[in-house]
A = this chain, B = another copy of it.
Amino acid sequence: MNYKTVIFEKIANNDLVVGIFGLGYVGLPLATSFAQSNVKVIGFDKNPEKVKKVNLGENYIKDINDNDFREVIGNKSLVATDDFSRIKECDAIIICVPTPLDIFKKPDMSYIIIACTEIGKNMKAGTFISLESTTYPTTTENLMLPILEKESGLKQGIDFWLGYSPERVDPGNDTYKTKNTPKVFGAMSEDGIEIGQAIYKKAIQNIHVVSSPRVAEMVKILENTYRLINISLINELALLAGKMDINIWEVIEAAKTKPFGFQAFYPGPGIGGHCIPLDPFYLEYIAKLYDFDLSMIHTAGHINMRMPHYMYMKITSALNKNKKSVNGSKVFFLGVAYKPNIDDERESPALELIDIVANKGALVSYNDPYISKITTHKKVSLNSIELTAKTLSEADVVVITTNHKDYVADFILEHANLVVDLRNVIDSKSEKLYKL
C-alpha cells in the first residue's frame, strides 16, 4: 500500500493526526476547527507558556469561542506540546508561524526555517505539509522544499507532499471565521493537491485550488497589497482634503453611494496589524531578485511611514491654538489597538505616535478597554487609565487613535479641552475639535 492510499484511508476513517505548527492567532483557531471535526490535533509551539495554557483550556485568542475551545481540550481532540519529536505522530503538518520583517523591513524567514528543519528531522514518510504563513512567492518551492528534503532524506511528490495555503484570518470579524472563509490552496504535485484538499475540507468549507504554491503565495500578497495601497491613497487624499477645507469622511460616505466600482477605505494615523504593513514588503523584497521595482508599494510604504509624523503635526497644531507646546503637555490617547474592538496593539500606529510625543516631552497616558498595559517600541511602559470626565478634562489634548465602539463622541467632546480625532469618532462641529 503506498503512502497516498494510506493517507486517504485515514482521511476517510477520520483516523488522521494533524499537527499545527505555531499556536498563535492563525494556528490555534485552525487547530480548534480541525478538532471540532473530531480530527486528532497536536499543536506545536516552542513557547511553553502557550502550550501550558492550551492544555489547561485557557483560550487566549479572542476569535475562538471559549466553549468550543474547552470542549476540544476536554475531549482531548486537541493537545499542545513543545516536544517536536511528536511530529512523527502526524499525518499532516500545517505551519502557522510568524513571518515578521526585521528592523530594516526585510523578511525574517527564521521561523519558517526552524519549522522546516524540525519537521524535516522528525517527520515520517507519507506526511502532507502545508505552509500558511504569509510570505513572498517562491518560498515554498525554493526555501522550504530544499530544507525538508535535506533534513528528512525524503522526496517531495513521492515520500511526502508540500503545498501552500494562505491564512485569511481577520481578527474581530464576526461573520467570517476559519471555517467559513474560503481557502486558497496550491501544491507542488497533483497528489499533493488531492490530499491537501481532502485534509483541509475537514476544517474549512470551501477550498479554491490554484496551479502552484507560488500562485497561492501571490494571492495573499495581492489581497493585502490591495488594502495597503488603498489605505495609503485615502491617507494621502485626507491630508490634501484637510488643506482644501474638505471633510474626507463626508467624501467617502458619498462615494460609497456609487453602486459599482468603488470600495471604501478610511484614513488613519498609519497602518497596523500583522498583514498590511508587512506583506507587500515581502513582494518588494523578492521583486529585486527579478530586477523589478514595485513603485506602487514603495510609494504607499512611504506615505504610511510618514503618517504618524503628520499626526504629530496635527497634535502640535491643536495645542498651538491654546498656546501650548507638546513639551510638558498632557496628551491622553484613546485606543492603542490597531483596529476597533480587538485586543491587539502590535504594529499599531498609536504606539509609534505615543513614542513620538513622549520623545518630545509630553506627559502621555492612554485608555484602551481591551488592552490594559503596553510597552512601545521605544520602551515606554504604560497602564491603561480610566476614561472619565476627570481624566478627559485633565489632559491638554485628547487624541483618538482607535475607534472602539466604547468611545462615546458627545462625552469625550464635552469633557476634553481639545480633541484630535484621527478616526472620525466625533461627527460634529466644535472649536476644540481637530479631525484628520
State the A residues within 8 Å of B (CB): 137-138, 168, 170, 173, 175-176, 181-182, 184, 206, 208, 210-212, 214-216, 218-219, 222-223, 225-227, 229-230, 232-234, 236-237, 239-241, 243-248, 250-252, 254-255, 257-263, 283, 286-287, 290, 292, 294-296, 298-300, 302-303
Task: Please state if A223 and B292 are interface contacts (CB–CB under 8 Å).
Answer: no
Assuming the contacts A215-B254, A216-B254, asked whether A240 and B184 have C-beta atoms less than 8 A apart, the reply is: no
Measured CB to CB, the closest approach of chain B to A397, in angstroms, equals 25
Query: Would A258 and B168 be within 8 Å (CB), given that A226-B233, A290-B244, A300-B296 are in contact?
Result: yes
Residue contact B250 to A184, C-beta cutoff 8 Å: no
Q: List 9 A-B contacts (CB under 8 A).
A: A170-B261, A212-B246, A215-B251, A218-B241, A219-B255, A225-B237, A229-B296, A236-B295, A240-B283
Which of A173, A240, A241 has the largest count of B CB atoms less than 10 A from its CB?
Answer: A240
- Could you tell me the distance in whole angstroms from the C-beta of A196 to the nearest C-beta in chain B? 15
In the complex, A283→B227 CA distance in Å?
22
A138's nearest neighbour on chain B, judged by CB, is B244
CB-based contact B182/A137 at 8 Å: no
Q: How far is the CB of A246 from chain B (nearest CB, A)?
A: 5
Please tell me if the beta carbons of A137 and B184 are within 8 angstroms of each other in the complex. Answer: no
- Chain B residues with Cβ below 8 Å from A236 are 294-296
Copies of this polypeptide in the complex: 2
**B296 engages A255 (CB within 8 Å):** no
Shortest CB-to-CB span from A101 to chain B, Å, is 19
- Given A229-B230, A233-B226, A260–B170 Cβ distance below 8 Å? yes
> Smallest CB–CB gap between A218 and chain B, Å?
5
> Would B210 and A292 count as touching, CB distance under 8 A?
no
In the complex the two chains form, is B262's CB within 8 Å of A223's CB?
yes
A222 to B298, CA, bound (A): 21
Which of the residues B227, B255, B260 comes within 8 Å of A222, measured between beta carbons? Answer: B255
Chain B nearest CB from A180 CB (Å) reads: 8
B218 near A251 with CB under 8 A, answer yes
Partner of A208, one of B254, B262, B296: B254
Q: Is the CB of B296 within 8 A of A222?
A: no
Q: Quick one: given A229-B229, A251-B215, are A257 and B170 in contact (CB under 8 Å)?
A: no
Q: B residues within 8 A CB of A184?
A: 254-255, 257
Known: A260-B176, A262-B226. A240 touches B292 (CB 8 A): yes
**B254 pairs with A214, CB closer than 8 A:** no
Tell me whether B259 and A182 are in contact (CB under 8 A). Answer: yes
Residue of B nearest to A294 (CB): B236
Cβ distance A293 to chain B, nearest Cβ, rounded Å: 9
Give the CA-CA distance A138 to B219 in the complex, in Å.
40
Please state if A287 and B257 are interface contacts (CB–CB under 8 Å): no
A303: chain B residues within 8 A (beta carbon)? 295-296
Q: How many angstroms from the CA of A300 to the CA of B236 in the assembled complex?
A: 14
Tell me which residues across on chain B come within 8 A of A226, comparing CB atoms.
230, 233, 255, 261-263
B243 touches A290 (CB 8 A): yes
